[in-house]
Amino acid sequence: MSESQSVTFVRAMLRKGSSVLSASPADEAPDPDSVPDWRYREDSADTLLMRAIRYSALGPIFYRVAAFPKVYIGFLVANGSAGIVPVLSTTIIGMLLNVFAVWWVVRGRGIRAKTSGRLMYADLVVGVVLTTIVAATAPAEIQPFAIDVAWTWMVGTVALWTLSFGLPAACLLLIAAVPFRAFLTWAGGLPLDHPLAMSRSVGCMVALVVAMVTTAGILILLGVGTRFALGIGMRRGQRAERLRTQRVMHDSVLQTLEAMGLEAPDDDSAAAERLAEMRATARAQAAELRRELTGPDAPSARGLAADLAEVATEMARDGLRTQLVAAETEEDYRLSHARRTAIRDAVREALRNTVKHAGTKQVVLRVEECEGGVAVIARDQGTGFSMLDRPPGFGISQSIMARLAEVGGRGTIDSQPGRGTRVTLWVPH
């Protein structure tokens, strides 16, 4: 996201609230300000980000949970037990409702935009009712202090509105709070110019402004941080998908093209046999490519040994005789589908390298448990090679090493000229 896009995004987020976060960068309009707020909230209501940003509401809710006891204790210290019934009742109700809200937000599956808006209005109504009851029932001499306790709810309401609807809506709420606070003073039987009521009213307004400004800052940090994290994730995802595509091309299409490029035998019967082998290879590679393009295989109950036996059968078409030494155990089934697939495909690439470079048609494939995981060792007695003279190509670096690293595994290659090659592939349980 460029600097101009960041500024535009922050401006739109402050105007519209957290609903702007739900649009991914790729789906975002060039100018978010030109998109009506209801479109942001409705079109994006079911996205993953929209379900995730509900947790931003926990900030104001946790504030209430912590502030209600603190303000109530301050009231007791300053005023004793005078007017304690409405104040204590408001504190208990406020605590219970907000504890329930925390549980509901954490355990819930997310809410639609319309439901979110209704909840914000319901939250405002609860705050108005609580503060009005306290103002009307508390004794006049301590009424301004009693309102301070109930006002804790209104501070959280302004923070929630800033998060959900943006600064314009929060400012309207702040403006409406001025006559409402005057109404509370009047409801308690105090004149509007009462010194104590005036000072406490100013304090209430300052608390709302602080809540709005603080929440706006949190919203900016949350929004910008989320967008940058999402952008980084998208770039990494694109890179991972590009590598996956390259592996598919290397492990399937390229292998078929190399087979087609082999010199045909002079004998007609041998040439026909070779052509049949190429066709069989092409069909097998086409099936493999089709599986890759349509997504990962569905998890099956069979173990790693069965997968490796299938790979050995595939390699037999290229003339490679594979001796598989493995025993199905209960532990073998503990490999996740992703790890089993990764080590299977890495073994396939290692065997293909044996066919192309080792100068032998025999390989021993052994499966064993070690170091809290499963290791597959491929050993041939071919020509071998020097790791210094022949740096790893794409097949080793990506189709073997990187593929295993993505699932927490690793691979090592031990080879010397004239002494064959040993490839060890390991993945954790």
∠ CA 96-99-104, nearest 5°, is 120
Which amino acid type is present at position 288?
A: E
Contact predicate 62/105, CB 8 Å: no
Query: 237 burial class (0-12, 13-18, 19+ CB within 10 angstroms)?
Result: exposed
Half-sphere exposure at residue 108, Cβ-oriented, CA atoms within 13 angstroms: 19
Domains along the sequence of the chain with CATH: 3-233 (no CATH), 300-428 (3.30.565.10)
Beta bridge partners of 422: 379, 414
Kindly report the pTM of this predicted structure. Answer: 0.59
Beta bridge partners of 196: none
∠ CA 216-227-246, nearest 5°, is 175
pLDDT at residue 287, as a whole number: 64
Contact predicate 412/406, CB 8 Å: no
d(CA 336, CA 348): 18
pLDDT at residue 41, as a whole number: 43
Beta-carbon contacts of 40 under 8 Å, excluding residues fewer than 6 positions away, are 16, 19, 20, 22, 23, 32
Other C-beta atoms closer than 10 Å to the C-beta of 83 total 21
Closest CA to 321 of 377, 360, 277: 360
Contact predicate 325/312, CB 8 Å: no
Contact predicate 154/127, CB 8 Å: yes
pLDDT at residue 21, as a whole number: 62
Closest CA to 67 of 163, 144, 170, 151: 151
pLDDT at residue 354, as a whole number: 84
Phi–psi pair at 265, nearest 5 degrees: -65, 155
Which amino acid type is present at position 89?
A: S
pLDDT at residue 27, as a whole number: 44
pLDDT at residue 281, as a whole number: 64
d(CA 383, CA 120): 74
| Residue segments in the chain with a per-residue pLDDT below the cut of 50 | 24-46, 330
pLDDT at residue 372, as a whole number: 83
Crossing angle of helices 143-165 and 113-137, rounded to 10°: 170
Q: What is the pLDDT of residues 183-236, one digit of tens each?
A: 999 988 888 888 888 999 999 999 999 999 999 888 888 777 777 777 787 787
Name the one residue in this structure whose structure tokens are 């493995």: 326
Q: 3-class SS at 417?
A: coil
Query: 165 burial class (0-12, 13-18, 19+ CB within 10 angstroms)?
Result: buried
pLDDT at residue 37, as a whole number: 45
Contact predicate 218/59, CB 8 Å: yes
Q: Specify the pairing of strand 373-380 against strand 410-415.
A: unpaired
Q: Where are the beta strands (DSSP E) in 316-400?
A: 321-325, 362-370, 373-380
d(CA 425, CA 409): 8
